[in-house]
Structure 1
Amino acid sequence: MTLGVAVIGTGRMGADHVRRIDSVIGGARVAAVADLDADRANAVAAGIEGCSVHTDPAAAMAAPGVDAVLIASSGPAHEPALLEALAHRLPVLCEKPLTPDPAAALRVLEAERRLGRRLVQVGFMRRHDREYQQLQLLLENGTLGHPLLLHCRHRNASSPSFFTTEMLIRDSVVHEADATRWLLGQEITSVQVLRPRPSSLAPQGLGDPQLVLFETSGGAVVDVEIFVNCGFGYEVRCEAVGERGTASIGGADGPVTRSAGRAGRAIPQDFTVRFADAYDREVQAWVDATRQGRVTGASAWDGYAAAEVCEAGVRAQRSGERIPVQLADRPALYA
């Protein structure tokens, strides 16, 4: 069976997923797309045989040949799209965040719990990155001993004009929140945010960079440098420090070019370059599992937990205090 996918949202991420499903991965086809901007949706769907175009996500999900849904719209639009997909009992791959706030995430969890089966996977693509998977294996098998520290860097060359200080946490550090929980197998129990003097390269009013500190249920401490106007490129790094050793990922790779009296490596300029393979692997794994009636990858519970961490992070930004993370009771569906 070729999986017919409705892609909701045809902006930068949605258009990239349409391209990926249509021409990169196997076992799926783009059956429908939906976007409030009809011209953009039509442009993305152009040339894809049998792909219907809609401005209403519900209409796209109900279109002929749709077996599953990929949600790539903006965060605030995720909850209604997720609830609609669950009402249709359609498997879903939802780009992060699951929802922008924990209350909405809990409503999605409850809708999925009532169905009695998992249908939602959250698009935390770092779980599908080869380096992150290697680091997770080292931590899981005890090669490094008990994990004590994670040192994380998350840098962007520049931020879009609409980016806010709160989005540093909800749209960027959310990745480190999920990666921390997944790498360590522990919950994040508190968040603190330290704010140095803003960079002169940051837009007016944007508190960039920041240092975010997580404490975990297993006694580890995680520091995250978030710097979205570093100026030189896109860089994501992580170093795990254990009792018996350390391991680092995200360092320089690729060929060294020597020319005109200089030597150096290229630095990716955005996430679509650095994590291109991870996105391909993530969507292929989702398609393969969905065709077999399974759900793998980050669950709706993982999306909810990340939302709670981000909520505490935003409060920590505003107060300067160490803010505890309080999670709801985990439903048996996600045990």
Structure 2
Amino acid sequence: MQVTIQDLANALNARAWGDVSMQIDGAAEPGQAGPGQIALAMSPKYAEALKPGACAILAEGMDPKDYGLSAAIFAPRPRLVMAALTRSFDAGPDIAEGIHPSAVIDPSAEIGDGAAIAPFVQIGAGVRIGARARIASHVSIASGTVIGDDALILNGVRVLHRVRIGDRVVIQPGAIIGSDGFSFVTPEESGVEEIRRTLGKRETIRRQSWERIHSLGMVEIGDNVEIGANATIDRGTIRATRIGSGTKLDNLVHIGHNVVVGDDCLICGQVGIAGSSVIGDRVVLAGQCGVSDNITIGDDVIAGGAAKIFSRVAAGKVVLGNPAVDMPTRMEMDRATRRLPRLAATVAKLQKAVTEFVEKP
């Protein structure tokens, strides 16, 4: 797809400069942009690599003449413009409209108008696929599941029975939606229950076996959700596991049974949320965060990378560390930790001085 600089600027709601009739069909980094490509050079340090005669997206305040450009688009908020630009040139996977002959589809399934079903897809009884949905190869969708309009389900995704997925949802390769929750019980009080009750004291150690608590609930996913590659979302035990509209899950995220995640959250790679926890709206959990079971995280919380959250977090808090505490407290704790070697040396000197004083005849 080719567009002019002016057309692209109009689509991005940005200001154009120079030869606005120049045709482009892709984007590249500043040092690699060739003919027909627009460079992303939204700070002076990146713009230094631009080639004379190139076209580029610049930040407001940068002068295209300084870099010998032929054309430029000015971005008031560069990363937002980058989102719109990359969307303009992303054609998405090539899945032909219609149903491929190798797909196995139960006769009771309903396929919406304009949907595209790729090779080796399996769709179970009572499934409903929305209009213009695209289902890539080797996807399996189990009985009773509903997938909304304009969804994109990529290669190798497994959607189990009675899952509800909204409109414009993107699921990256290998994700598994609706597997059984990790929920087990022992006939007698388990060792885990004992140490929770006694706060770590072991009274009796005995043999125990685990009985599965089956997952009868479902998974409900809102509109405009994105789920990363190899992410897993467990179904609820009785009530549904829920992912709110606009929420984005990164690769290798695990959502446990009965978890509720609010709207417009950002859950980064390798985050694990244990069963029955509730995550508010617009929460950001950075990479490798861990959330304990049965706790609540309020709206607009931000948790730094590898934070381990074991108790309730109030709305609007920024937390860091293991265990996670609010950011100012964690920074003071880290400063104190760095001072420990010096403090230990000082204590050793004082101890030596006191010992010498006591032992002096």
How high is the TM-score relative to the length of structure 1? 0.25
Higher relative contact order (CA 8 A, sep 6+): 1
How high is the TM-score relative to the length of structure 2? 0.24
- Give 1 or 2: higher helix fraction: 1
